[in-house]
Structure 1
């Protein structure tokens, strides 16, 4: 009997390590993707539309979820137990509940805004940034209400059954009516209700678009352009919603199973897998949004090109123990090139480089080898591929 128990424990640890190898790349992707999305949004902040505020709020909540959950979940999974004590466990669970419900509520509000803009354009055209900010504030208040309830002893926070993360105390919700009522309220108001609103909103959008397709084809190019913008918003919203609900549906099912079923018959892996999918939901929003928004994609490509160019330029003469000897600067004045774009002509061999070029020639000695490197700094705008 003892041998069988040890074998089961080893199998569980092996599966948790397998999940760890999946969670770590998801955390890195989420951190990079959401940070990139927020950076690009900041660069185009004067061009943002009110509906895009919701996508930015999604990135904020996803980034908060990543920074507050992933580090402790990864380290605890490595040691096969929760490492940070009861107080930090409650903070961990609170952050997961707050950011998760905020993301779900934001998606629900976004679907309603898209429905109003597409199906009721008279009212949708009046939607402005003030309305968007008010709705986002409501999403945070709604999430804060449910996240604070276990701290007021309507439900409880505690370790997950697999022991390496914290959430709602499922055993308590299985045994006590008050804790069970909190789990049911979460299931109804934070899963079923948002699902119904989102499905109804996008169904109405699809019906409206299908009914007015022939009419819109006969309109002028300006209205066709507006229709194209609405189509992009709808596509990215649907894609984000599908990814989010695919991640959180397993957790919703397991929560009801734990509240009303025999929790001792639920294997720890049945809690670990939905938790992993829920955490991985943070990578869907930036990937889908940056792929479906052409203006965001172009700006991201430009900014990444600028960053890579700067990194390569800074690393040109500073790789390894390199010592540069200063030489007199050579300032060269050349004729200005008149061009329409920010790229050098590729086929014109007689084209001259832009003016105001500062050349610094350094003699480099490294391991008895003399290396000659040139740092070229231009006053012109950085080129982007």
Structure 2
């Protein structure tokens, strides 16, 4: 293994948007708005599912997990983005950088796992509707959630251990206002092949999740095509629209970020920044919007919640 040295005592320097240092205070305004939308959106989903008992079903438990991971991903980047763009504080210690990197990648890996679990939920609901309640019991959903936490946490721990043995004698300047594994290992002044390979394995696991999701949808579409009623076909597919869109807005930026970090070394720095920000910010912002718009149960739960909080006499009763 690589010996540890004093280079890890030197702080890393975070970076804002390339070429826009003089506008960082203004850049934080759209970033702050995105954080606000993501926190409020996912927080609302958590509150609505928790408060309304009719939403205490496997499908909405998985949605609860998705909102939790999105909220965790959003809050993982908030402290350093705030420091860089609003306070102009670029330094971050090596331990703090590792903790943030661990949180970002754990929640990203969890999102991939939750999307796979949600695909399994849709497969059972459409392909085995009579066995749905016996297969996806409350206890089994809890076991799946616990398995996702263990899978993602234990898979990322070796990544941290490998990084602690790397010496950093090159520039300590990172490419983003937060710490990513791909960004840190490029600063190592020794061979980081093992780190890179392990990171690639984790990416391949996420790709495997996507393949399994795709297979589940192939089986779902085959089942739906076998339904004679067009109305029933549409109803079945409508229950998958939000999840299908959530899969696309997560995996497309993930693929773009992985490709540009591994093969786009000569690409403009702004392209790296844009892909990283799209990957980290777009899913937490759009997922609550998608599920609020497409899920009638979530919409009704949200309206009832708003009615209950309304100050007008008799308004809650009318709801």
TM-score by length of 2: 0.80
Residues 195 and 255 of structure 1: CA distance in aligned 2, closer, same or farther (over 3 Å): farther
> Which stretch of the first structure deviates more once superposed, 136-145 or 55-64?
136-145
Aligned residues: 294
Selected match of 2:82 from 74, 77, 82: 74
**2:121 and 2:62 mapped to 1: Cα distance?**
10
Higher alpha-carbon deviation: 89-98 or 143-152: 143-152
Q: Decide whether aligned partners of structure 1 residues 193 and 156 sit closer, same or farther in structure 2, where only a CA change above 3 A counts.
A: farther
Residues 28 and 86 in structure 2, CA contact (< 8 A), matched pair in contact too? yes
Residue pairs, 1:144-223, within 5 angstroms: 144-153=153-162, 161-168=174-181, 169-171=184-186, 175-190=191-206, 192-214=207-229
Contact 1:183 1:255 in 2 (8 A): no
Are residue 233 (structure 1) and residue 233 (structure 2) matched?
A: no
- Residue 204 of structure 1 deviates from its aligned partner by 1.7
Structure 1: give runs of 5+ residues left out of the alignment. Answer: 1-8, 218-223, 314-377
Q: Distance in 2 between matches of 1:18 and 1:59?
A: 28
Instruction: State the structure with more CA Rg.
Output: 1
Residue of 215, 239, 242 corresponding to 2:248: 242
- The answer to whether 1:292 aligns with 2:294 is yes
Q: Please tell me whether residue 253 in structure 1 is matched to residue 267 in structure 2.
A: no
- Aligned match of 2:275: 274
Summarize the Cα distance change of 1:150–1:197 in structure 2 as closer, same or farther, 3 Å threshold. Answer: same
Pick from 95, 103, 112: which aligns with 2:103?
95
Report the RMSD for the aligned CA atoms in angstroms. Answer: 3.1
- Asked if the contact 1:105/1:194 (under 8 Å) is kept, the reply is yes
Q: TM-score, normalised by structure 1?
A: 0.67
> What 5-or-longer segments of structure 2 have no aligned partner?
1-16
Higher relative contact order, chain-length normalized (CA < 8 Å, sep 6+)? 2
User: Take 2:35 and 2:173, find their aligned partners in 1: how far apart are those partners?
Assistant: 20
Choose between structure 1 and 2: higher helix proportion.
2
Q: Aligned pair in 2 of structure 1 residues 163, 244: CA closer, same or farther (>3 Å)?
A: closer
**Structure 1 equivalent of residue 305 of structure 2:** 303
Is the Cα–Cα contact under 8 Å of residues 18 and 269 in structure 2 kept in the other structure?
Answer: no
| Equivalence map 1:313-324=2 (5 Å) | none
**Which residue is 1:317 aligned to?**
none
Query: What is the distance in 2 between the residues matched to 1:118 and 1:255?
Result: 39
Q: 1:120 to 1:383 in 2, by over 3 A?
A: closer
Q: How far did 1:255 drift?
A: 3.4
Q: Deviations over 1:295-314 (max 9, x none)?
A: 2102212322443x33xx7x
In the TM superposition, what is the alpha-carbon distance from 1:147 to its structure 2 partner? 2.4
